Amino acid sequence: MDFDFSDDQEQLRDAVRKWVDKGYTFDRRREITSAGGFDRAAYTELAELGLCGLYVSEDHGGMGMGPVEGMVVMEELGRGIVMEPIQQALISGAVLEGYAPEAVKTEWLPKIAGGEAIVVLAHQERKSRYNINKCDAQAQQQDGQWQVSGTKSVVAVGDHADAFLVPAMAAGKLALFLVAKGAKGAATSGYVTQDGARAAELTLNQTPASLVTLDGQTALSHAVDIGIASVCAEAVGVMDKTMAITVDYMNTRKQFNTTIASFQALRHRVADMKMQLELGRSMSYYASLKLNTPAAERHQAMARAKYQLGNSMRFVGQQSVQLHGLSLIHI
């Protein structure tokens, strides 16, 4: 299988990497975290690079790209642990392109692609325990208008979003709706998450909504898998940057008048870290390449990728901490 990237993909990678290196420094990220975990200005800068419209067709103002380009972008954003929700733009763009009626596409996709509107997936509920098949939110149609009632939890940048993709039960079947910010009966309560990003609780009380699709199960599972593949790619970027910082430290930190990078035991640790990084990278590629396959095959790929990336991230993170502060104790 050919894993070489095209010239366009490499140019995209280079553009995002330059922005992360120059426009999203550690100090800026710390300021954003202190200010509440989201910066609309940073999100706008990413939109100006075209990243919000990666999965939006050119007919609707996007770039019309695919999963590999999404993977490239998320990997580079991971190098800076960028908190602004580009992942949500990928999800909403792909879901609306693939499942929404033309009127909804025309209204929202150009806004998503241009960064004018942040549309986020609001599917988690307190009782669901990450089971997307369990949904207590209800939808009913009255006088030709859909209304949704329910509560969604841990909604990414929920108190800054302009609209929400909300799954709800309609006549006993899961459907997917779009709810605009400020709609009657909609309320958000924002908070900072453990990683310094931002989320919110979303409460809907007979809130007017636009129907995206009555086949909500198919659309929602696709949306979640796009999110998983995005997080896997982001994790690769995090590990890549973590390893680079660790190796740089080892090449400057001296013990016994020599850099610790020359100690064979520590070099073996770095080799093991590199192996875990490449295992994670290969599974991220695998997940992204499976995004457009049949649902059953796609779900299996995402599960495998999540497992490997979880193991790889833990190992690389723990070893990096050891090599920065505790390595000499174990020599």
Query: Where are the domains positioned within the chain?
Result: 7-114, 119-214, 219-330
DSSP conformation letters of 123-158: ---TTTTT-TT----EEEEETTEEEEEEEEEEEETT
Summarize the confidence of residues 28-47 as an average pLDDT. Answer: 95
Answer whether 119-214 and 219-330 agree in fold: no
Q: Which fold has domain 219-330?
A: Butyryl-CoA Dehydrogenase, subunit A; domain 3 (1.20.140)
More confident residue, 329 or 274: 274
**Residue 223: burial class (beta carbons within 10 Å; 0-12, 13-18, 19+):** buried
pTM, whole model, 2 decimals? 0.92
pLDDT at 328 over 60: no
Q: CA-CA distances (angstroms) from residue 75 to 84, 106, 224, 288?
A: 14, 30, 18, 12
Domain covering 7-114: architecture: Orthogonal Bundle (1.10)
In sequence order, the 6+-apart residues with CB closer than 8 A to the CB of 276 are: 239, 311, 312, 315, 316
pLDDT at 265 over 70: yes
Domain covering 119-214 in this structure, CATH number? 2.40.110.10
Q: CA-CA distances (angstroms) from residue 47 to 16, 104, 115, 116, 292?
A: 11, 20, 5, 9, 24
Summarize the confidence of residues 89-103 as an average pLDDT. Answer: 97
- Residue 326 has a pLDDT of 53
| pLDDT tens-digit series, residues 298-320 | 999 999 999 999 999 999 999 99
